[in-house]
Structure 1
Amino acid sequence: MKKFLALQCRGLNTRMISQLRKGNAKVVWKIDWLGRKTYDLIKLMVEWKEMGVDFWSISEGIGTSAKMGRLWYMLVLSLRKIKEILVEWTLAGMEAARQEAEYAVAQEG
């Protein structure tokens, strides 16, 4: 049921984004609700800036109508990307440690 609702909301979001016009603003509670991939979020912001559409994230307090808001948006996305990389490295390190432990146990037995 949750997956269905998420897909339905994603479809509504896509349709709403396609209807944005100059002078409109897209408001979300959190940047994550707009998209998952950092590249896609940056691309959206650039497209909307060219279209004259503002973006507001309520929980992060970011609005792209001013230069400082656009800078803050990019900083948040950069930190998000760093977090993704750190999670990836951590998971890879945990997997390597697990495999090393399995190898050590196999060598003892």
Structure 2
Amino acid sequence: MIALPGIAFGGQAEVCIYPEKITLDDLFFIRQTRCPENGGSWTDQKMAFGTFRTSIAELTFSSSFNTPVPLPNQRIGYARVSPKDQLDLQRDALQQAGCHVIYEEAASGKNAVRPELEQCRKALRTGDTLVVWRLDRLGRSLPDLVQIVAALERSGIGFESLTEKIETGSAAGKLVFDVFAALVEFERNLIRERTYAGLAAARARGRSGGRKPKLNEKQVREIKALLRDPDIQVADVARRYGVSRTTLYKHVGAITPQEKPVSPH
């Protein structure tokens, strides 16, 4: 059902509920004496009002018909399909769940760029509910899903997944996402601990973490020997070994006259 303004001949405005799904670029208001739901008949008179690049289902209007006002507490659907999926199943389920506005995305779950989802999130207002057919239609991964739902919750927007029967407006739904968030944090901690353990094991074997050094021990000894010759320039040595002077100094350090020269061979 779609809310659109009815205009009485006397000039009084009222909101009528029409069962038709209407999506137009050029918005027209239909003059009528009574709403069709109340048995009134439609006239053929139409008055062009302007162009709105949006779905009529998203809008109702003030009595002056000058300013579009978003409908409160909407249920907005989001459907994502890969090239092999069928969209009709998701669309039908979302419509049956009361979603008059549905954003449809044709993209793989691995694709981080989802313009329709961004448009959907921009359209959502406090008190609205984002509805999806299944959890994996929204999030590319569990961390991604938790991040999106948490952002919605901070904005006062609800979330519902039809297949799993999860809605954040209920205590059970909030508990489920609290568990999801805990699992994400647990996974992060595991990765962090494994990384630290791997670095510690590498250091125990005589290796340090990070990038492989650009100069090996033999090259460092050769460079030290060369730099003790006052006639040899640092820039020439760095060029010979294919490193910058900063990298060379980092590996070799300062060369003092008291140091005993080391033969490069």
What interval of TM-score do these two structures reach, taking the shorter chain for normalisation?
0.5 to 0.7
SS in 2 for 1:55: strand
Corresponding residue for residue 246 of structure 2: none
Matched, 1:68 2:184: no
> Shift of residue 87 of structure 1?
1.1
Q: Residue deviations 1:41-89, cap 9 Å, x none?
A: 4343232xx2xx3213467653212121112211211221121111111
Moved more, 56-65 or 83-92: 56-65
Corresponding residue for residue 29 of structure 1: 135
> Shift of residue 37 of structure 1?
8.8
The letter of the residue matching 1:99 is R
Query: Does the C-alpha gap of structure 1 residues 99 and 32 become closer, same or farther in structure 2, counting only changes over 3 Å?
Result: farther
Query: Does the C-alpha gap of structure 1 residues 98 and 75 become closer, same or farther in structure 2, counting only changes over 3 Å?
Result: same
1:42 to 120, 133, 150: 150
**RMSD between superposed Cα atoms in Å:** 3.3
Does structure 2 retain, via aligned residues, the 8 Å contact 1:62–1:73? Answer: no
Query: Does the C-alpha gap of structure 1 residues 95 and 69 become closer, same or farther in structure 2, counting only changes over 3 Å?
Result: same
SS in 1 for 2:144: coil
Query: Does the C-alpha gap of structure 1 residues 43 and 101 become closer, same or farther in structure 2, counting only changes over 3 Å?
Result: same
Q: Calculate the TM-score normalised by the size of structure 1.
A: 0.61
Q: Residue deviations 1:4-59, cap 9 Å, x none?
A: x72422x3322211112444324252374386396664343232xx2xx3213467
Does structure 1 retain, via aligned residues, the 8 Å contact 2:149–2:159? Answer: no
Does structure 1 retain, via aligned residues, the 8 Å contact 2:158–2:167? Answer: yes
Higher RCO structure, 1 or 2 (CA under 8 Å, sep 6+): 1
Higher strand proportion: 2
CA distance in 2, matches of 1:13, 1:89: 34
Does structure 2 retain, via aligned residues, the 8 Å contact 1:38–1:81? Answer: no
Q: Calculate the TM-score normalised by the size of structure 2.
A: 0.29
Matched, 1:92 2:201: no
Does structure 2 retain, via aligned residues, the 8 Å contact 1:63–1:70? Answer: yes
Query: Does the C-alpha gap of structure 1 residues 84 and 58 become closer, same or farther in structure 2, counting only changes over 3 Å?
Result: farther
Query: Does the C-alpha gap of structure 1 residues 80 and 7 become closer, same or farther in structure 2, counting only changes over 3 Å?
Result: closer
The letter of the residue matching 2:203 is Q
Query: Does the C-alpha gap of structure 1 residues 38 and 97 become closer, same or farther in structure 2, counting only changes over 3 Å?
Result: farther
The letter of the residue matching 1:82 is F
Please tell me whether Structure 1 or Structure 2 has the larger radius of gyration of its CA atoms.
2
2:184 to 80, 89, 95: 80
Unmatched 5+ stretches in structure 1: 104-109
Matched, 1:56 2:160: yes
Corresponding residue for residue 106 of structure 1: none
